[in-house]
Amino acid sequence: MDMTKRELCSTGIEELDIQMSGGIPLGSTVLVTGCSGSGKTTLCMQYLFDGAEKGDRSVFFTITEPLFKLTKNLESFSFYKKNLIESGMVNIIDLRIISERLGLDTEKYTVDDAGALLDILKDIANELEVKRLVIDSITALCYRLQTREMIRDFIFKLGTSLAVMNCTTLLTSEVPPQTYKFSQYEIEEFISDGIIFVGDIERRGDLIRTLQVVKMRGTDHTRTKFAMHISADRGIELMPLLKSSEIDSVLTEKVQSSLRSWDIPKEKVML
């Protein structure tokens, strides 16, 4: 696709940008879906700090992790720059603290509470003129609503709000492990322009993190599954999954070598 017409927002993960022909189209709402421990929060943080380096002010709304823990965990990563926090380029806000200030029950929201929270969220984003926004997680936010109907209404309202805001948003979406669905309520994807799925595959007893761009409207993205590495030095990186050359091919090579010589066949990673 000719993406020159559209402005793109880099993610701070080089290989991921390449997979999407440059980045996320500005103004998109993207679900980052995966189970607990799959690296969603780190991915979002790296995205925000990358933006801040490039001049995009950003805000991260958390609903489960207290600020001090979040920050402590962040400090291990080299992409974390304290000065970007201090200069107000990256803002991390605990929705529970906001809830408290609003006089809301922090563990249980009514429809009105959720509406009030949404308004505050919008106000903050507008006032700060943020370009990048993260809500971590939409699932935990919805858990505070009491009925499925309330949740559905809230998600559609959130979608409407985000659509008119001027920023590129990541919503983390938590699903059970080893489950390939995009969201807890199967409604969240209706308000999203893109879906990035972070999963696991088990290989010889290890859990390998994977990342796949399932959907990204307005980009010519691949849908290849990558191995996703997380390290303190380089944050998140994508690498090709060593593909199984399938049982039969491995077998054949080994049969060859068994006929030819007594070499120990080289280890191959099975997909």
Q: Which of residues 26-85 bind a copy of itself (CB under 8 A)?
A: 27, 35-37, 64-66, 69, 72-73, 75-77
Q: Which of 206, 228, 237, 238 binds a copy of itself (CB under 8 A)?
A: 206
Q: Which of 108, 126, 129, 239 binds a copy of itself (CB under 8 A)?
A: 108
Long-range contacts of residues 186-192, Cβ cutoff 8 Å, at least 24 apart:
187/151, 187/152, 187/155, 187/156, 188/31, 188/138, 188/155, 189/31, 190/155, 190/156, 190/159, 191/29, 191/155, 191/156, 191/158, 191/159, 191/162, 191/163, 192/29, 192/30, 192/31, 192/159
Q: Which of 118, 120, 140, 165 binds a copy of itself (CB under 8 A)?
A: 140
Two tokens, residue 30: 């993207």
Residue 195 makes contact with a copy of itself by CB under 8 A: yes
Nearest residue (CB) to a copy of itself, 128 versus 159:
159
Q: Which of 3, 93, 118, 128 binds a copy of itself (CB under 8 A)?
A: 3
Q: Which of 129, 166, 220, 239 binds a copy of itself (CB under 8 A)?
A: 220
Residue 193 makes contact with a copy of itself by CB under 8 A: yes
Q: Which of 82, 97, 223, 239 binds a copy of itself (CB under 8 A)?
A: 223
> Among positive and negative, which fits the CA dihedral 81, 85, 91, 93?
positive
Residue 166 makes contact with a copy of itself by CB under 8 A: no
